[in-house]
Amino acid sequence: MKQDQFLSVLSRDEAAARLHAHLDPSPLPEELVPLERALGRVLARDVASPVDVPSFHRANVDGFAVVARDTYGADEEKPVKLRLNPENLGAGDIPQHAVAPGTATAIATGAVIPRGASAIVMVEYTDTGPGEVRVYRPAAAGEGLSHAGNDLMLGETVLRAGQVLSARETGTLAALGMDPVPCVRRPRVAILSTGNEILAPGVPMRECCVYDSNSRIVADTVRENGGEALFLGIVGDDEDRLETAIRRGLDADIVVLSGGTSKGGGDLNYRVLSRMGPPGIILHGVALKPGKPFCAAVVHGKPVVVLPGFPTSAIVTFRDLVLPFLRRWGGLPAESPRRVRARQAIRYHSDRGRMEYLMVNLVPGQDGYRAYPWTKGSGAVTTFSQADGFVRIPANQEMVLQGQEVEVELIGETIAVPDLTSIGSHCVGLDFLLGEVQRAGFAVKIFHIGSLGGLEAARRGESDLSGIHLLDEVTGEYNLPLLRGLEGLTLVRGYSRRQGILVRPGHFSEVTLAALVAQHLAGEALALVNRNRGSGTRLLTDRLLATEAARAGLSLQALTLRIRGYEIEARSHNAVAASIASNKADWGIGIENVARAYGLEFHFLDNECYDFVAPASRLDIPALRQFLRILRTPRTADHLRSLGFEVSGHLGDIVDAPAAEESAREGRR
């Protein structure tokens, strides 16, 4: 009997390259899957929230809606007395009365916050009498309530393409009202075992035979990794029957055989595949131990792989050479370990007496991973769905110290620690760019904590890429002056955003900052919704208000005390717009494209530069290199313009801060 030698034994990398040359690793087309059947499926595209969650300002506790300033100074000995409004708000009730200074409204958990209220005093710290409530503890602005869009904002990217939908993700989709769900079609894998000696489990053993374990291992590995396994049975050593079975399997996305791949005369699989092209056999023999007899062919555009017959060899070669394609076809990322060691990023207090599962996100730092606690709270849909994992805090432990080593248990088998971490200012343009990076095969994590926080995170080496828009009042230049003196940081040029005043259509006859400030000073009942401290927009707001304060002969502090709502902080432009659109505030400062999305009037104030800061030492990491490549393409510039941003020819330019400082000195000479 003629012996068929291996065509050419390739190295492992050469074999992988040969497969990549013949197989398209792109995800399979999407299909719409009913939400009730979406568990375990993979998202085909990014999901942006179609609504604000919550859709209204709501109470988080039972108590009384108040103006926070009215409660300052209250204590057990000297309570503050407030007049009760004539309504008691429960969940689902629409408030009929605004909370004016000196008044309060009884409110239950989950109820809509009435206009004018800036805090909720818990019922435990109050006492009521005829027509009044006595407050025994001061409440800070924003205490006891959540703003519209505090959990999820209209247009915010909530889930990204490639995410596996566990119960936490399907719960998020349900909270958004999304049904059906765009999912990647599962790869269909036809599995065939070959050889006269192979028996199906459950039948009596015969001499010289073995039970078929390879098909079970392969089928369950396929299912574990999001594919559909189609078992075609066992075929003996008969070329015609084998060819018929293989052709039947070509209806699937890939055919996987095991057995009969060696060089002996009984190697029917190789002989059958060699005549089934085009192109037929693409490799036969890989320098692996175990796994040398691995064989692969392409038959009329469909891949057919033949695994070695020994179970260990079969599963090693399948996981090493075939599984990466299945995961890519199914839209899945690479697998990650179940546990990682990390250091606590910030000190965290825990309640003694209860074991706590502290949800955390993992960020690469200078000495390993840093674990950032997820602090949106138990009422937020995204707390569990967006965490990388959790730290178990024992019941007798009150604190996890900053820098303390912790063990993080990852949520799910396939959640990867990110290849790129972005901490800084939020922007829908950055959402788009990071989505493109993730579609290129990299895991991305983004935290919206403001420009100053992002700059500090980059300085500490915990952020690979920070979006910032910070104006230097001395030079009148954005971003770059803030980097001078901070060694090791690099600026990447971004795009311009139009900042302006946001109001409801037709609400004001004149919309200028001076006119709005004048109405506040006159005591008119209008409210600002401000941005969070540390954000670039908050710095711009304070700079503009300082100018108006000087014109009025006031200090900035004196002016802000007379601007109702100044102390209310929204964490994003979307949250500002949501407050105005829902009539919970009358005006705020934000960017033009968000105003357009919420149907608001936009009155231009200033152009700002939204740039990116990266540690110079990180510029060579693959994910950041991919970000820079994407940023510099004409397609990206066109898309950013379509989002309402202004893009110059400097998009993606890298500016070295020390070199720029030296150039500035030369200019001054």
Q: CATH number for the domain including 98?
A: 2.170.190.11
Cα separation, 545 vs 465, in Å, equals: 31
Helix locations, 465-569, DSSP H: 480-483, 513-521, 536-551, 556-561
Q: How far is CA 195 from CA 11, 205, 212, 268, 573, in A?
A: 27, 15, 10, 9, 65
At 395 the pLDDT is 65
At 415 the pLDDT is 42
Within a domain: 193 = yes
| Residue 71 host element (H or E) | helix 68-71
Cα separation, 502 vs 576, in Å, equals: 8
CB neighbours of residue 78 within 10 Å = 8
Given pLDDT bands bounded at 50, 70 and 90, which one contains residue 8?
A: confident
Antiparallel, parallel or unpaired: β 254-258 and 302-307: parallel
- For residues 540 and 622, state if they share a domain: yes
Task: Give the domain CATH number at 611.
Answer: 3.40.190.10
Within a domain: 2 = no
Task: Give the domain CATH number at 40.
Answer: 3.90.105.10
| Residue 268 host element (H or E) | helix 268-274
Question: Quick check: 660 pLDDT over 50?
Answer: no
Cα separation, 430 vs 434, in Å, equals: 6
- ∠ CA 547-550-555, rounded to 5°: 105
Return the minimum-mean-pLDDT range out of 339-343, 581-585, 645-649: 339-343
Residue where a domain stops, chosen among 294, 329, 364: 329
Q: Which domain holds residue 177?
A: 30-53+151-184
- For residues 512 and 635, state if they share a domain: yes
Question: Quick check: 59 pLDDT over 90?
Answer: yes
Return the minimum-mean-pLDDT range out of 42-46, 419-423, 474-478: 474-478
Cα separation, 65 vs 307, in Å, equals: 69
Three-state SS annotation for 275-297 = CCCCEEEEEECECCCCCCCCEEE
Question: Quick check: 101 pLDDT over 80?
Answer: yes
> If you ran DSSP here, which 8-state letter would residue 96 be given?
-
Cα separation, 86 vs 93, in Å, equals: 14
Strands (E), 470-520: 471-472, 477-478, 489-503
Q: Which of 115, 120, 65 is nearest to 95 (CA)?
A: 115
In tens, the pLDDT along 547-578 reads 999 999 999 999 999 999 999 888 788 889 99
Provide the β-strand partners of residue 361.
372
Given pLDDT bands bounded at 50, 70 and 90, which one contains residue 581?
A: very high
- ∠ CA 4-291-203, rounded to 5°: 90
Within a domain: 439 = no
SS3 440: coil
- For residues 217 and 90, state if they share a domain: no
- For residues 90 and 120, state if they share a domain: yes
Q: What residues contact residue 262 under an 8 Å CB cut-off, 6+ apart?
A: 293, 308, 309
Q: How far is CA 29 from CA 182, 436, 605, in A?
A: 10, 17, 45
- For residues 42 and 112, state if they share a domain: no
Task: Give the domain CATH number at 395.
Answer: 2.40.340.10
| 150, amino acid identity | N
pTM: 0.54
Cα separation, 448 vs 435, in Å, equals: 15
Within a domain: 448 = no
Return the minimum-mean-pLDDT range out of 254-263, 271-280, 522-531: 254-263
- For residues 305 and 247, state if they share a domain: yes
- For residues 642 and 514, state if they share a domain: yes
Domain count, the chain: 5
Within a domain: 174 = yes
Within a domain: 217 = yes
- For residues 78 and 20, state if they share a domain: no
- Phi first, then psi, for residue 310 (nearest 5°) are -70, 135
Within a domain: 415 = no
Given pLDDT bands bounded at 50, 70 and 90, which one contains residue 334?
A: low
- For residues 501 and 605, state if they share a domain: yes
Tokens at 469, concatenated: 């828009």
Task: Give the domain CATH number at 313.
Answer: 3.40.980.10
Q: Are 399 and 601 in contact (CB under 8 A)?
A: no
| 518, amino acid identity | A
Owner of token pair 């009884």: 106
5-9, 44-48, 195-199: range with highest mean pLDDT: 44-48
Within a domain: 132 = yes
Question: Quick check: 78 pLDDT over 90?
Answer: yes
- For residues 248 and 361, state if they share a domain: no
- For residues 241 and 106, state if they share a domain: no
> If you ran DSSP here, which 8-state letter would residue 535 be given?
S
Tokens at 281, concatenated: 């056999």
| Residue 612 host element (H or E) | strand 601-615
Cα separation, 287 vs 391, in Å, equals: 42
- For residues 180 and 318, state if they share a domain: no
In tens, the pLDDT along 355-407 reads 567 778 887 777 788 887 775 543 344 555 567 777 877 767 888 898 899 99
Q: How far is CA 595 from CA 174, 476, 601, in A?
A: 27, 26, 7
Average pLDDT of the residues in 417-423: 84
